[in-house]
Structures are given as structure tokens and as C-alpha cells.
Amino acid sequence: MIKYSKEVSQAKAAKKPIVALESTIISHGLPRPRNLEVAQEVEEIVRAFGGTPATIALIDGVIHVGLESDELTRIANDDLVVKASTRDLAIIESTKQSAATTVAATAHIAKLAGISVFATGGLGGVHRGHTYDESADLLALANIPIVIVCAGVKSILDVAGTLERLESFAVPVLGYKTNKFPGFYLTDSGFEIEHRVDSVSQIAEIWNNRHDLKTDNCAIVVTNPVENQMDLALHNKILADGLAAAEKEHISGKAVTPFLLEYFHSSSNGESLRVNIDIIKSNTQLATQIACAL
């Protein structure tokens, strides 16, 4: 069911650290041609810090863990590449489509492949104003034992609601060198994190302790705030204007989040793109260091 790249196959055989990378940011999250450049740069970061990159996607219905150069280029440039969450995987296989994987699908496939660490940008979460409108990422985190490194959730979401759901699912949230829960574009979403870690060795120890205590049935979320956040005043203005524009255009439900994301991209004069790229690079470095520690 899974096709491994040559590099990942060699790493698995040699029991070397491997870091899972999602592909949705490549196909749908960043503009061309910067998306392919960033994907290549992120893979090089994993190698530079002693790991093996395993970018995950489906190509012509086949799950790929690790992409060869031409496959990475296809995911970045093919307009027919769709987004796939866990519920879509069997359908994508059956219809022989090509798909980029969301956080939920990437985590699921990484677990199937025996990979324990996953770097992403930001998690999905509870959407504003809709109690039952929430990302499948949250349920995946509740059921998949993996270390996921992220910059919290995007500030356009219901951050408080997201944290409550993670608590209900008993998913541990660790702040890497911070007690503040990041808000993706911002280093501080306004919410506290109960548990802080200051080294990758601490994260590795927690991971190992969970196995002994039989509490290792879910993910560990490691939040890593962006070093150079978006200007706070600019962020708040864009968010307020975007919410007002969504209401004026009668946009509601699951359509609100992609609308606001696009509003940030078009209104921030490149700042949201800059932060997005900084985040995935920083999270990839930290994830690789954790994989090596494990």
C-alpha cells in the first residue's frame, strides 16, 4: 500500500531518524514557484540536522512516503492534485487520483510507516462561531501516537475552543521554550500552556515515559512559536477586516477559514507568506532534532 522513496527506504533499513512532512502546504498553501523551492529547502533542513525527510502524498492513487525529485515537482505544480484527509484516502486510492495530505492524513500515514515525528505549520482546530465545525486534525491527534511540531493554530480559528478539545481528548500540549500558546502568525495567541519544555531531551523523555505509563495512544503536540511574528497591529486589522468582509458576503461555516486565509494572503503585502515559510522551516529543524533524540 505504501511506496517509499529510495532515501526513506535506506533510512528505515539503517534505523535512522525520519521526519514526516505534509504536502498540502506545497500544493495548496504556498504560491508557485515558491512552493517547490520551500519544499526543497525544508527537506534540506532535515538532512542538515541529521534526519531523513519523508514528504507524504498520493500519486496516481499510491501512497508515497518520501518523494523523488520529479514527484515533489508534480505535487507542487499539478493543478489536478486534490487535498486528502484520512476519510479520503481509500477513495483516492480507488480513483487513482493524486493528492496532498492534510495534517490528519499525514499523521495517519506516518504511523503506518513507523515514523514517530511530524513537522507541520499550524494545526487545524475549532472554527469560529460553530461548535461542531472543527478540523479532523483534532480527532487524528487524539488517536495517533506521534510527536507533531507546529506553531499552534491559526489565529483565525477559535483558539480557546481548540485548546478545550485537545484537553478533552487528553492530548498533551508542550510549549517549546514558552508558556504561551502560539497563534501561528503570532508568538502568543493570548492563552497559556501548562507544560513547558526547554530541550529536545525533555520531549524524548516524555515520549518514552508515556509508553511505560500506557498513555501513548495519542499525539504529543509540541508548539514552537515563530521567532519573528507578524506585526500585531497589522494582524489585528486584517483579522477584523476579514471577519467583517466574511459577514458582509454572507460567508459562514467551513467556508470562513479559507476565506480568511486568502484575505490574509491578499492583504498583508507578503507578511503572511513570510511568516508561513519561517514557521515551517523552524518547525522542521526542531522536529528533526527531536527525531534524532528519540
**Nine cell digits for residue 183:** 497563534
C-alpha span between 214 and 263 (Å, rounded): 44
Dmax (CA) for the chain in angstroms is: 57
The active-site residue out of 154, 180, 271, 281 is: 154
C-alpha span between 227 and 225 (Å, rounded): 6
C-alpha span between 45 and 167 (Å, rounded): 32
Q: Is the dihedral of CA 171, 294, 191, 268 positive or negative?
A: negative
**177 has catalytic annotation:** no
Element housing 44 (H / E): helix 34-48
Burial class (CB in 10 A: 0-12, 13-18, 19+), 31: exposed
Beta bridge partners of 77: none
The active-site residue out of 22, 71, 134, 271 is: 22
Annotated catalytic residues are: 22, 154
